[in-house]
Amino acid sequence: MTNIDRSGTFRLGSRSVRRLGYGAVQLAGPGVFGPPKDPDSARAVLREAVASGVNHVDTSDFYGPHVTNQLIREALHPYPDDLVIVTKIGARRGDDASWIPATSPDELTQAVHDNLRNLGPDVLEVVNLRIMLDREGHGVAEGSIEPPLTALAELQQRGLVRRIGLSNATHAQIAEGRRITEIVCVQNHYNLIHRDDEALIDELARDGIAYVPFFPLGGFTPLQSSTLSGVADRLGATPMQVALAWLLQRAPNILLIPGTSSVAHLRENLAAAGLELPASAIAELDRMAQTG
Protein backbone atom coordinates (compact mmCIF):
# COMPACT_ATOMS: atom_id res chain seq x y z
CA MET A 1 0.00 0.00 0.00
CA THR A 2 1.26 3.49 -0.82
CA ASN A 3 2.04 5.75 2.06
CA ILE A 4 -0.01 8.81 1.19
CA ASP A 5 1.85 10.75 3.87
CA ARG A 6 4.52 11.21 1.22
CA SER A 7 2.52 14.06 -0.31
CA GLY A 8 2.22 15.87 3.02
CA THR A 9 -0.59 17.76 4.70
CA PHE A 10 -2.16 21.22 4.53
CA ARG A 11 -4.45 23.21 6.77
CA LEU A 12 -8.17 23.09 6.01
CA GLY A 13 -9.86 25.48 8.40
CA SER A 14 -9.03 24.40 11.91
CA ARG A 15 -7.90 20.94 10.78
CA SER A 16 -4.92 19.49 8.97
CA VAL A 17 -5.60 17.00 6.17
CA ARG A 18 -3.47 14.83 3.90
CA ARG A 19 -3.09 16.43 0.52
CA LEU A 20 -4.43 13.34 -1.25
CA GLY A 21 -8.14 13.14 -0.53
CA TYR A 22 -11.17 11.72 -2.28
CA GLY A 23 -14.12 13.26 -4.15
CA ALA A 24 -17.39 11.33 -3.95
CA VAL A 25 -19.34 12.60 -6.96
CA GLN A 26 -18.64 9.46 -9.01
CA LEU A 27 -20.45 7.25 -6.46
CA ALA A 28 -24.01 8.24 -7.44
CA GLY A 29 -25.82 6.82 -10.46
CA PRO A 30 -25.35 7.98 -14.08
CA GLY A 31 -25.52 11.78 -14.41
CA VAL A 32 -24.90 12.01 -10.62
CA PHE A 33 -28.57 11.10 -10.26
CA GLY A 34 -30.09 8.21 -8.36
CA PRO A 35 -28.30 5.27 -6.78
CA PRO A 36 -25.26 3.51 -8.25
CA LYS A 37 -25.62 0.13 -9.93
CA ASP A 38 -23.56 -1.47 -7.15
CA PRO A 39 -23.85 0.30 -3.77
CA ASP A 40 -21.57 -2.32 -2.14
CA SER A 41 -18.66 -1.37 -4.37
CA ALA A 42 -19.34 2.34 -3.77
CA ARG A 43 -19.08 1.72 -0.01
CA ALA A 44 -15.95 -0.39 -0.59
CA VAL A 45 -14.25 2.54 -2.36
CA LEU A 46 -15.00 4.83 0.59
CA ARG A 47 -13.75 2.31 3.15
CA GLU A 48 -10.59 1.64 1.17
CA ALA A 49 -9.91 5.39 0.86
CA VAL A 50 -10.10 5.93 4.61
CA ALA A 51 -8.17 2.72 5.36
CA SER A 52 -5.43 4.03 3.06
CA GLY A 53 -5.10 7.24 5.06
CA VAL A 54 -7.48 9.60 3.22
CA ASN A 55 -8.87 12.05 5.77
CA HIS A 56 -10.47 14.58 3.42
CA VAL A 57 -13.65 13.55 1.57
CA ASP A 58 -15.56 15.95 -0.67
CA THR A 59 -19.30 15.52 -1.22
CA SER A 60 -22.66 17.25 -1.54
CA ASP A 61 -26.22 16.37 -0.69
CA PHE A 62 -27.14 17.28 -4.27
CA TYR A 63 -25.12 14.28 -5.51
CA GLY A 64 -27.86 11.72 -6.10
CA PRO A 65 -29.48 13.77 -4.48
CA HIS A 66 -28.89 12.44 -0.94
CA VAL A 67 -27.47 9.16 -2.27
CA THR A 68 -23.77 9.96 -2.00
CA ASN A 69 -24.05 11.32 1.54
CA GLN A 70 -26.04 8.28 2.59
CA LEU A 71 -23.37 5.98 1.15
CA ILE A 72 -20.69 7.91 3.05
CA ARG A 73 -22.62 7.55 6.29
CA GLU A 74 -23.28 3.84 5.73
CA ALA A 75 -19.64 3.15 4.90
CA LEU A 76 -17.82 5.37 7.38
CA HIS A 77 -20.02 6.36 10.34
CA PRO A 78 -19.03 6.64 13.18
CA TYR A 79 -16.39 8.80 11.56
CA PRO A 80 -12.71 8.62 12.51
CA ASP A 81 -11.68 11.69 14.53
CA ASP A 82 -9.30 12.94 11.85
CA LEU A 83 -11.75 12.68 8.94
CA VAL A 84 -12.83 16.01 7.43
CA ILE A 85 -15.94 15.79 5.25
CA VAL A 86 -16.42 18.86 3.11
CA THR A 87 -19.83 19.42 1.57
CA LYS A 88 -21.29 22.05 -0.72
CA ILE A 89 -24.64 23.80 -0.97
CA GLY A 90 -26.20 26.28 -3.39
CA ALA A 91 -27.98 23.98 -5.85
CA ARG A 92 -30.77 21.46 -5.95
CA ARG A 93 -31.72 18.83 -8.49
CA GLY A 94 -34.74 18.91 -10.76
CA ASP A 95 -36.78 15.76 -11.42
CA ASP A 96 -35.06 15.66 -14.82
CA ALA A 97 -31.60 15.57 -13.11
CA SER A 98 -30.97 19.25 -13.90
CA TRP A 99 -28.86 21.44 -11.57
CA ILE A 100 -30.90 24.37 -10.27
CA PRO A 101 -29.43 27.27 -8.26
CA ALA A 102 -30.84 27.23 -4.71
CA THR A 103 -29.40 30.10 -2.72
CA SER A 104 -32.29 31.71 -0.83
CA PRO A 105 -31.86 31.67 2.97
CA ASP A 106 -34.56 28.98 3.21
CA GLU A 107 -32.95 26.82 0.55
CA LEU A 108 -29.50 27.12 2.15
CA THR A 109 -30.91 26.27 5.58
CA GLN A 110 -32.70 23.26 4.09
CA ALA A 111 -29.48 22.15 2.38
CA VAL A 112 -27.49 22.35 5.63
CA HIS A 113 -30.13 20.27 7.41
CA ASP A 114 -30.20 17.74 4.53
CA ASN A 115 -26.41 17.35 4.84
CA LEU A 116 -26.59 17.00 8.63
CA ARG A 117 -29.33 14.38 8.39
CA ASN A 118 -27.81 12.30 5.60
CA LEU A 119 -24.16 12.50 6.71
CA GLY A 120 -24.91 12.32 10.42
CA PRO A 121 -22.37 14.61 12.16
CA ASP A 122 -23.34 17.11 14.91
CA VAL A 123 -21.92 19.97 12.86
CA LEU A 124 -20.74 20.28 9.25
CA GLU A 125 -16.96 20.80 9.36
CA VAL A 126 -16.62 22.74 6.08
CA VAL A 127 -19.40 23.92 3.76
CA ASN A 128 -18.62 25.38 0.35
CA LEU A 129 -21.05 27.82 -1.18
CA ARG A 130 -21.33 26.62 -4.81
CA ILE A 131 -21.76 29.72 -6.96
CA MET A 132 -23.98 29.29 -10.05
CA LEU A 133 -24.30 32.72 -11.57
CA ASP A 134 -23.67 31.95 -15.23
CA ARG A 135 -26.53 31.02 -17.50
CA GLU A 136 -25.60 27.33 -17.67
CA GLY A 137 -24.84 27.12 -13.94
CA HIS A 138 -21.53 25.32 -14.47
CA GLY A 139 -19.04 28.04 -15.46
CA VAL A 140 -17.79 30.99 -13.42
CA ALA A 141 -19.49 34.38 -13.76
CA GLU A 142 -19.11 37.67 -11.94
CA GLY A 143 -21.79 38.94 -9.55
CA SER A 144 -22.19 39.61 -5.86
CA ILE A 145 -22.35 36.62 -3.50
CA GLU A 146 -23.18 38.77 -0.50
CA PRO A 147 -26.81 37.60 0.08
CA PRO A 148 -26.19 33.81 0.08
CA LEU A 149 -22.84 34.04 1.85
CA THR A 150 -24.37 36.18 4.61
CA ALA A 151 -27.11 33.57 5.01
CA LEU A 152 -24.50 30.80 5.23
CA ALA A 153 -22.49 32.82 7.77
CA GLU A 154 -25.64 33.04 9.89
CA LEU A 155 -25.94 29.24 9.83
CA GLN A 156 -22.33 29.16 10.97
CA GLN A 157 -23.14 31.53 13.84
CA ARG A 158 -25.99 29.18 14.83
CA GLY A 159 -23.39 26.41 15.20
CA LEU A 160 -24.54 24.23 12.30
CA VAL A 161 -21.44 24.87 10.18
CA ARG A 162 -17.87 25.18 11.44
CA ARG A 163 -15.99 26.60 8.43
CA ILE A 164 -16.91 28.11 5.07
CA GLY A 165 -15.42 27.83 1.59
CA LEU A 166 -16.36 28.95 -1.91
CA SER A 167 -16.71 26.96 -5.11
CA ASN A 168 -16.74 28.13 -8.71
CA ALA A 169 -15.64 31.57 -7.53
CA THR A 170 -13.93 34.45 -9.28
CA HIS A 171 -11.14 36.50 -7.74
CA ALA A 172 -13.60 39.34 -7.01
CA GLN A 173 -16.10 36.99 -5.36
CA ILE A 174 -13.39 35.51 -3.13
CA ALA A 175 -12.33 39.03 -2.10
CA GLU A 176 -15.97 39.93 -1.40
CA GLY A 177 -16.44 36.68 0.53
CA ARG A 178 -13.38 37.31 2.69
CA ARG A 179 -14.85 40.66 3.72
CA ILE A 180 -18.00 38.88 4.94
CA THR A 181 -16.51 35.84 6.71
CA GLU A 182 -13.36 33.71 6.88
CA ILE A 183 -12.95 31.61 3.72
CA VAL A 184 -10.88 28.48 4.38
CA CYS A 185 -10.88 26.90 0.92
CA VAL A 186 -11.67 27.56 -2.72
CA GLN A 187 -12.88 24.74 -4.97
CA ASN A 188 -12.60 25.63 -8.65
CA HIS A 189 -12.07 23.88 -11.99
CA TYR A 190 -8.32 23.40 -12.48
CA ASN A 191 -6.02 20.71 -13.87
CA LEU A 192 -3.03 20.13 -16.15
CA ILE A 193 -4.91 21.61 -19.13
CA HIS A 194 -7.42 23.99 -17.56
CA ARG A 195 -5.25 26.57 -15.82
CA ASP A 196 -7.34 29.74 -15.47
CA ASP A 197 -6.55 30.10 -11.75
CA GLU A 198 -2.74 30.32 -11.85
CA ALA A 199 -2.49 33.72 -10.11
CA LEU A 200 -5.31 32.92 -7.70
CA ILE A 201 -3.62 29.72 -6.48
CA ASP A 202 -0.44 31.61 -5.62
CA GLU A 203 -2.36 34.35 -3.86
CA LEU A 204 -4.33 31.84 -1.76
CA ALA A 205 -1.09 29.96 -0.95
CA ARG A 206 0.40 33.18 0.43
CA ASP A 207 -2.66 33.54 2.69
CA GLY A 208 -2.68 29.89 3.82
CA ILE A 209 -6.01 29.14 2.12
CA ALA A 210 -6.50 25.69 0.59
CA TYR A 211 -7.15 25.45 -3.16
CA VAL A 212 -9.06 22.27 -4.06
CA PRO A 213 -9.28 21.71 -7.81
CA PHE A 214 -12.38 19.97 -9.07
CA PHE A 215 -11.93 17.86 -12.21
CA PRO A 216 -8.26 17.21 -11.27
CA LEU A 217 -8.21 14.34 -13.77
CA GLY A 218 -10.22 16.23 -16.37
CA GLY A 219 -13.66 15.36 -14.98
CA PHE A 220 -16.18 12.91 -16.37
CA THR A 221 -14.05 12.46 -19.49
CA PRO A 222 -10.53 12.14 -18.03
CA LEU A 223 -7.55 13.84 -19.70
CA GLN A 224 -6.12 12.15 -22.76
CA SER A 225 -2.93 13.27 -24.46
CA SER A 226 -0.02 11.58 -26.15
CA THR A 227 2.38 13.94 -24.33
CA LEU A 228 0.89 13.00 -20.98
CA SER A 229 1.05 9.29 -21.86
CA GLY A 230 4.65 9.67 -23.03
CA VAL A 231 5.72 11.36 -19.78
CA ALA A 232 3.89 8.68 -17.79
CA ASP A 233 5.58 5.84 -19.71
CA ARG A 234 9.04 7.28 -19.13
CA LEU A 235 8.38 7.57 -15.38
CA GLY A 236 6.82 4.12 -15.08
CA ALA A 237 3.57 5.74 -13.98
CA THR A 238 0.06 6.13 -15.41
CA PRO A 239 -1.25 9.34 -17.05
CA MET A 240 -3.67 9.91 -14.15
CA GLN A 241 -0.82 9.60 -11.63
CA VAL A 242 1.20 12.17 -13.57
CA ALA A 243 -1.81 14.53 -13.66
CA LEU A 244 -2.15 14.27 -9.87
CA ALA A 245 1.59 14.49 -9.15
CA TRP A 246 1.73 17.64 -11.29
CA LEU A 247 -0.98 19.24 -9.14
CA LEU A 248 0.81 18.21 -5.92
CA GLN A 249 3.99 19.86 -7.17
CA ARG A 250 2.20 22.94 -8.49
CA ALA A 251 1.60 24.57 -5.07
CA PRO A 252 1.67 23.46 -1.42
CA ASN A 253 -1.90 24.64 -0.74
CA ILE A 254 -3.43 22.34 -3.39
CA LEU A 255 -5.53 19.55 -1.86
CA LEU A 256 -6.58 16.76 -4.22
CA ILE A 257 -10.02 15.14 -4.36
CA PRO A 258 -9.87 12.87 -7.44
CA GLY A 259 -13.16 11.06 -7.95
CA THR A 260 -13.56 7.40 -8.79
CA SER A 261 -16.09 4.61 -8.44
CA SER A 262 -13.37 1.96 -8.64
CA VAL A 263 -11.08 0.57 -5.94
CA ALA A 264 -8.40 -0.13 -8.56
CA HIS A 265 -8.46 3.49 -9.75
CA LEU A 266 -8.47 4.72 -6.14
CA ARG A 267 -5.28 2.73 -5.42
CA GLU A 268 -3.69 4.02 -8.60
CA ASN A 269 -4.58 7.61 -7.70
CA LEU A 270 -3.31 7.38 -4.13
CA ALA A 271 -0.01 5.96 -5.38
CA ALA A 272 0.60 9.36 -7.02
CA ALA A 273 1.67 10.53 -3.54
CA GLY A 274 5.03 8.86 -4.15
CA LEU A 275 5.61 10.15 -7.69
CA GLU A 276 8.05 13.00 -8.19
CA LEU A 277 8.08 14.71 -11.58
CA PRO A 278 11.49 15.89 -12.81
CA ALA A 279 11.76 19.47 -14.09
CA SER A 280 12.01 18.21 -17.69
CA ALA A 281 8.64 16.44 -17.39
CA ILE A 282 7.01 19.53 -15.91
CA ALA A 283 8.40 21.67 -18.76
CA GLU A 284 7.00 19.23 -21.31
CA LEU A 285 3.57 19.27 -19.64
CA ASP A 286 3.63 23.07 -19.51
CA ARG A 287 4.36 23.23 -23.26
CA MET A 288 1.46 20.82 -23.85
CA ALA A 289 -0.90 23.07 -21.84
CA GLN A 290 0.25 26.18 -23.75
CA THR A 291 -0.43 24.59 -27.10
CA GLY A 292 -3.79 23.23 -25.91
Ligand X SMILES: NC(=O)c1ccc[n+]([C@@H]2O[C@H](COP(=O)([O-])OP(=O)(O)OC[C@H]3O[C@@H](n4cnc5c(N)ncnc54)[C@H](OP(=O)(O)O)[C@@H]3O)[C@@H](O)[C@H]2O)c1
Return the number of the residue (130 or 176) whose C-beta is nearest ligand X: 130
Q: Is residue 173 within 8 Å of residue 131, measured between CB atoms?
A: yes
By the rule CB under 6 A, 176 interacts with ligand X = no
Which residues contact residue 120 at a Cβ distance below 8 angstroms, ignoring those fewer than 6 apart?
Answer: 73, 77
63 is catalytic: yes
Q: Is residue 2 within 8 Å of residue 53, measured between CB atoms?
A: no
Cβ 213 to ligand X shortest distance, Å? 8
Cβ 196 to ligand X shortest distance, Å? 14
Distance CA 80, CA 99 (A): 32
By the rule CB under 6 A, 259 interacts with ligand X = yes
Judged by CB under 6 A, the chain residues 202 through 231 that form the site for ligand X are: 214-220, 222
Q: Is residue 49 within 8 Å of residue 76, measured between CB atoms?
A: no
Give the active site residue among 63, 79, 190, 211. Answer: 63
Pick the binder of ligand X from 167, 170, 173, 253 (CB under 6 A).
167
By the rule CB under 6 A, 261 interacts with ligand X = yes
- Starting at the edge strand found earlier in the chain, the sheet holding 210-211 runs 22-23, 56-58, 84-89, 124-130, 161-167, 183-187, 210-211
Judged by CB under 6 A, the chain residues 42 through 61 that form the site for ligand X are: 58
Distance CA 70, CA 82 (A): 20
Judged by CB under 6 A, the chain residues 119 through 138 that form the site for ligand X are: 130
Name the residues that contact ligand X, by CB under 6 A: 23-26, 58, 88, 130, 167-168, 187, 214-220, 222, 240, 257-262, 265, 268-269
Catalytic residues: 63
